[in-house]
Amino acid sequence: MSQISIASSKHIDFIRNRLDDEFKLLQAEGVNINLQEKARGDYTFLGCNMSQDNKALTCPDHILLKHYIAKVISEVIVARWEEHLVRGIVKNHYYYFNEEERQNILERAQEILAREDEVPRKNKILLKIVDYLESHDDLILDGFIKFRLKEYLNELEEAVDQAVDDFLMEKEYNEFIRLLRYFVEIQEPRVEKVNVLLKPSGYFQLYDGNENIITNEYLEGFIVDLPEGDINYEDLLISTLITIAPRQIVLHLPDQNKVKSTVNTIKSVFGERVTICPGCSRCLSSNQKKNT
């Protein structure tokens, strides 16, 4: 007879149900399972007893039991405990954010973890559990996570840190966009309409409503002062459009996918003033030059 005790303060129903599912597979192979449950304070203890009727199974009882328990507990940690752990990291490390901001960071961290393959995390936890059960018959899940899964917790902290960086960058970007919107609102329009031919390289050309090229002395002087390779065409374009402050901006995009970020920024700053050309001779001509 082999026996292992598992204790947890959370998700005991999920643990019990997953153990039952796994143990049914073993019972079909002639392995007897007895699962006992006791509550002690904040913890619930599950006692797992195992014995074999089928002598054809060469794997010892204790190895089978440890393997199946490790499999279940690793799934429980990733599927149920992970959100609780991430929430705790956000609360303890970034307590100076308000509740709404912490919730935003939590969701971002969960998205980061969801984009990653959870199998490696789960396998690392499984190996840690198997190693622990080699010399212990009792596993208190809360303490095991805190003291034995340092590497896993570090991975969660890294995801939270990345989420905070992303949150702050987006917050800074939004504040910058609001400032630019303010500049646009207070500027007196110098022209009614501007056509912007935006090329995949980021380089752009501006035309007024009469198809005349718009020159900008400030822009030209700024480019001259910049070292080669340091030109940020998106910043230059936004600065130029704010200076001109047109009532209407028509974007001509030979390859929209390659300038998506710039287009989104222009739309964020200028809002309803912006329209995208559905396709004109200038767009077609630029596309033909690109393909030749």
Domains of the chain in sequence order = 2-178 (no CATH), 193-291 (3.30.420)
Average pLDDT over residues 263-290: 81
Average pLDDT over residues 79-91: 96
Any idea which of 85-94, 241-250, 256-265 has the lowest mean pLDDT? 256-265
Residue type, 236: L
Residue type, 64: L
Average pLDDT, the chain: 86
How would residue 254 be classed by pLDDT, with cut points 50, 70 and 90? confident
Give the integer Cα–Cα distance in Å for 125 and 149.
Answer: 7
pLDDT at position 144 over 70 = yes
Q: For residue range 5-28, list pLDDT tens digits in order.
A: 999 999 999 999 999 998 888 777
Q: What is the reported pLDDT for 237?
A: 86
Q: What is the reported pLDDT for 218?
A: 44
Give percent of the chain above pLDDT 70: 87
More confidently predicted of 190 and 30: 190
More confidently predicted of 53 and 119: 119
Angle subtended by helix axes 233-244 and 217-225, to nearest 10:
160
Give the integer Cα–Cα distance in Å for 267 and 261.
Answer: 10
Tokens 């059960």 label which residue? 133
Contacts of 167 (CB under 8 A, 6+ apart): 101, 104, 105, 108
- 252 bridge partner residues: 197
pLDDT at position 291 over 60 = no
More confidently predicted of 176 and 209: 176
Token couple for 234? 């998106």
Q: What is the reported pLDDT for 212?
A: 80
Q: For residue range 92-121, list pLDDT tens digits in order.
A: 999 999 999 999 999 999 999 999 999 999
Q: What is the reported pLDDT for 226?
A: 42
pLDDT at position 151 over 90 = yes
Q: For residue range 221-246, list pLDDT tens digits in order.
A: 444 444 445 557 788 888 889 888 89
* 43 three-state secondary structure: strand
Average pLDDT over residues 155-167: 98
Q: Closest by alpha carbon to 241, among 255, 231, 251?
A: 251
Q: Which helix (H) or strand (E) holds 38?
A: strand 31-40
Q: What is the reported pLDDT for 32?
A: 79
* 228 three-state secondary structure: coil
Q: What is the reported pLDDT for 139?
A: 96
